[in-house]
């Protein structure tokens, strides 16, 4: 997978910009606040219809512009694709793949895939379970359509069940609907556990290797999937998972009715991350946290490559800061394979060792 060319109009601080990229390595230099992250954000947005940082599409439109246009020419599965998105203030965006209008962002996801790493990704280690579930869900939805469908259905049922429980004080008759909701959540929940277990197992294996090598063999990263307590083996067959999840739901029924809240279930799943046996969330240093988060992203790239035969485009934003020189060198050695974009500050010459194409970004203008 490769981005051959990108064209932006009024996207963030870019006016009218076109750039052609190297198939392997693209080093994006620039001082602070010049547009390096904006460039990576545009590439991510074109890959999935979502920004890794903007809350609304409007945020990405140039301050003085009415609309923004993003367009890419990409190579994927030995074919060339053109994707185009137009963002407007006050009306819905429009998207196209090869000039055919796309109804939703799923059409963009089928063209190319990105793995984006930025300083905020420390949240993967430091924050609560929701951040790690989001990481698993995003990766798995791109890889397994069956997972994406089960997750959407599980969320829909969860929201509905939450409303039933909340409103049940005034309308006790609603509780009659619960057994049916529970049964459907059990069936879709078992599918989620099945895929999450497989993903977590591969993630643990690859990420441990990256982390070990990056720390010069000194540190051991471990990742374990944690789901509801009554599931004794998340790697068991889906039928077994369904039975155990059903027993779990039944044992929580009385408590859910009493608290009028949807309690335990796969919606509380987590990844337990430890470095040398200690929980990383509480005990790891800034550098260790960054190394672990990066190891997880590199592992995600490998899982995707194994499943599809193609490397996703790797986007590394400000990855070198807070790493000591040996860890920096590891990162630069390790990212080969597939197309890479790496941003850094002007005085950081290390990435030039990577070869490839060098760009300078200044006030929303890229020069090659
Ligand atoms: N919608 C917008 N319209 C115009 N400019 C914007 C918009 N959103 C953000 N910017 C500007 O983009 C600039 C930030 O760009 P970006 O985040 O890409 O910086 P960067 O080069 O990655 O910097 P750093 O090295 O500090 O991370 C800021 O000056 C910000 O004001």
pLDDT at 334: 80
Question: How far is the C-alpha of 124 from the C-alpha of 323, rounded, in Å?
Answer: 17
Mean pLDDT score of the chain? 93
| Choice from 8, 28, 30, 37 to test ligand 1 binding pocket (greatest atom count within 8 A of CB) | 37
Helices 286-308, 178-214: inter-axial angle, 10-degree rounding:
110
Phi, psi for 161 (deg, rounded to 5): -65, -40
pLDDT at 93: 96
- Going from the Cα of 8 to the center of ligand 1, the distance in angstroms, rounded, reads 14
Q: Which residues are 20's β-sheet partners?
A: 5
- N residues, the chain: 368
| Other CB atoms within 10 A of residue 119 CB | 14
Per-residue pLDDT of 176-189, as tens digits, reads 998 999 999 999 99
Question: How far is the C-alpha of 139 from the C-alpha of 137, rounded, in Å?
Answer: 6
pLDDT at 327: 83
* Domains in the chain with CATH codes: 2-113+312-367 (3.40.50.300), 124-280 (1.20.1050.90)
- Cα distances from 49 to residues 3, 80, 130, 155, in angstroms, run 16, 19, 21, 20
Nearest Cα residue to atom 30 of ligand 1: 33
Per-residue pLDDT of 198-213, as tens digits, reads 999 999 999 999 999 9
Per-residue pLDDT of 266-311, as tens digits, reads 999 999 999 999 999 999 998 899 999 999 999 999 999 999 999 9
- Gyration radius from the chain CA atoms: 22
Question: Strand 278-279 and strand 67-76: pairing?
Answer: unpaired
Question: How far is the C-alpha of 115 from the C-alpha of 265, rounded, in Å?
Answer: 28
Q: Which residues are annotated as a binding site for ATP?
A: 30-37
pLDDT at 342: 93
Per-residue pLDDT of 221-274, as tens digits, reads 999 999 999 999 999 999 999 999 999 999 998 999 899 898 889 999 999 999
For residue 91, the 8-state DSSP code is: S
Per-residue pLDDT of 61-82, as tens digits, reads 999 999 999 999 999 999 999 9
Is pLDDT above 80 for 351?
Answer: no
Is pLDDT above 80 for 354?
Answer: no
What band does 33 get if pLDDT is binned at 50, 70 and 90? very high
Tokens of 320: 């070198």
pLDDT at 236: 97
pLDDT at 332: 84
Question: How far is the C-alpha of 141 from the C-alpha of 307, rounded, in Å?
Answer: 13
Tokens of 78: 């030995």
Is pLDDT above 90 for 329?
Answer: no
What band does 337 get if pLDDT is binned at 50, 70 and 90? confident
| Other CB atoms within 10 A of residue 221 CB | 26
pLDDT at 145: 85
- Ligand 1, CB cutoff 6 Å, lining residues: 12-13, 30, 32-38, 59-63, 318
- Going from the Cα of 293 to the center of ligand 1, the distance in angstroms, rounded, reads 24
Query: Which atom of ligand 1 is closest in space to residue 40's alpha carbon?
Result: 18
pLDDT at 324: 83
pLDDT at 267: 96
pLDDT at 336: 81
Is pLDDT above 80 for 349?
Answer: no
Which of 125-129, 131-135, 170-174, 353-357 bottoms out in mean pLDDT, i.e. has the lowest? 353-357
pLDDT at 113: 92
pLDDT at 352: 75
| Choice from 17, 30, 36 to test ligand 1 binding pocket (greatest atom count within 8 A of CB) | 36
Per-residue pLDDT of 92-139, as tens digits, reads 999 999 999 998 888 898 898 999 999 888 999 999 999 999 999 989
pLDDT at 135: 93
276 closest CA partner among 227, 217, 330: 217
Of these ranges, 54-68, 136-150, 249-263, 340-354, the one predicted with the greatest mean pLDDT is 54-68
pLDDT at 325: 84
pLDDT at 106: 83
Is pLDDT above 80 for 347?
Answer: no
- Going from the Cα of 33 to the center of ligand 1, the distance in angstroms, rounded, reads 5
CA atoms within 13 Å, Cβ hemisphere of 228: 25
Longest dimension (CA), the chain: 69
């Amino acid at each position: 997978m490769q981005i051959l060319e990108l064209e932006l109009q009024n996207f963030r601080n870019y006016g009218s910009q076109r750039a052609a990229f190297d198939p392997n390595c693209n080093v994006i230099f620039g001082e602070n606040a010049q547009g390096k992250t904006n460039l990576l954000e545009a590439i991510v947005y074109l890959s999935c219809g979502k920004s890794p940082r903007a809350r609304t599409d409007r945020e990405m439109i140039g301050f003085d512009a009415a609309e923004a246009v993003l367009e890419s020419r990409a190579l994927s599965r030995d074919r060339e694709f053109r994707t185009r998105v137009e963002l407007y203030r006050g009306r819905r965006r429009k998207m196209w793949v090869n000039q055919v209008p796309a109804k939703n962002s799923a059409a963009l996801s089928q063209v190319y895939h990105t793995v984006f790493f930025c300083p905020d990704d420390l949240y993967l280690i430091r924050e609560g379970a929701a951040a790690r579930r989001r990481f698993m869900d995003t990766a798995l939805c791109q890889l397994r359509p069956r997972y994406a469908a089960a997750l959407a259905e599980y969320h829909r049922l969860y929201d509905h069940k939450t409303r039933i429980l909340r409103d049940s004080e005034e309308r006790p008759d609603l509780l009659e609907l619960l057994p049916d909701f529970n049964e459907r959540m059990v069936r879709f929940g078992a599918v989620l556990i099945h895929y999450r277990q497989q993903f977590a197992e591969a993630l643990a294996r690859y990420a441990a290797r990256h982390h070990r090598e990056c720390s010069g063999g000194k540190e051991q990263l471990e990742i374990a999937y944690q789901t509801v307590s009554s599931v004794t083996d998340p790697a068991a067959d889906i039928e077994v998972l369904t039975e155990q999840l059903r027993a779990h739901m039944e044992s929580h029924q009385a408590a859910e009715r009493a608290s009028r809240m949807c309690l335990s279930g796969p919606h509380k799943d987590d990844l337990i991350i430890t470095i040398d046996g200690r929980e990383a969330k509480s005990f790891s240093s800034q550098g260790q946290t960054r190394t672990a988060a990066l190891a997880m992203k590199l592992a995600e790239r490998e899982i995707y490559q194994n499943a599809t035969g193609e490397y996703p485009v790797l986007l590394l934003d400000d990855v070198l800061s807070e790493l000591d020189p040996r860890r920096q060198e590891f990162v630069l050695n390790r990212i080969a394979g597939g197309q890479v974009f790496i941003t850094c500050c002007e005085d950081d010459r290390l990435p030039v060792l990577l070869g490839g194409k060098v760009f300078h970004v200044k006030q929303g203008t890229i020069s090659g």
